Amino acid sequence: QVQLVESGGGLVQAGDSLRVSCVASGLMFSDYGMGWFRQAPGKEREFVAHISAYGASSTYTDSMKGRFAIYRNNADNTVFLQMNNLIPDDTAVYYCAARNRSDGRTFVTAAYEYWGQGIQVTVSS
């Protein structure tokens, strides 16, 4: 049984930093590319970042480049999203997801096989 469990969310102020984590179990973690998505109230789930199976490459939504960083530790089956200089528009539920495909569709929600339950990040102004 595959499980992805996020942690590290919470309430922060604008300008603060926060790191969310996702621990995977029940799969060969190093075989999977990992992504972070987020969903704000009333909006569709959107792509945030993706990192390849061994961490050699990463991609980001343009608006988050330079503020967010995705990285992973395959020894601990964990993927991280470091978020800096947070703004209120970053308020959302953040989800990690896993995919074992090489079709380049890293930004597409349907291209991921497994999802975490999500964790709330709230940025106050």
pLDDT digits (tens, 9 = 90+) for 58-92: 999 998 889 999 999 999 999 999 999 999 999 99
DSSP code string of 72-100: EEGGGTEEEEEE-S--GGG-EEEEEEEE-
CA 3 to chain centre: 15
**pLDDT tens for each residue of 2-20:** 999 999 999 999 999 999 9
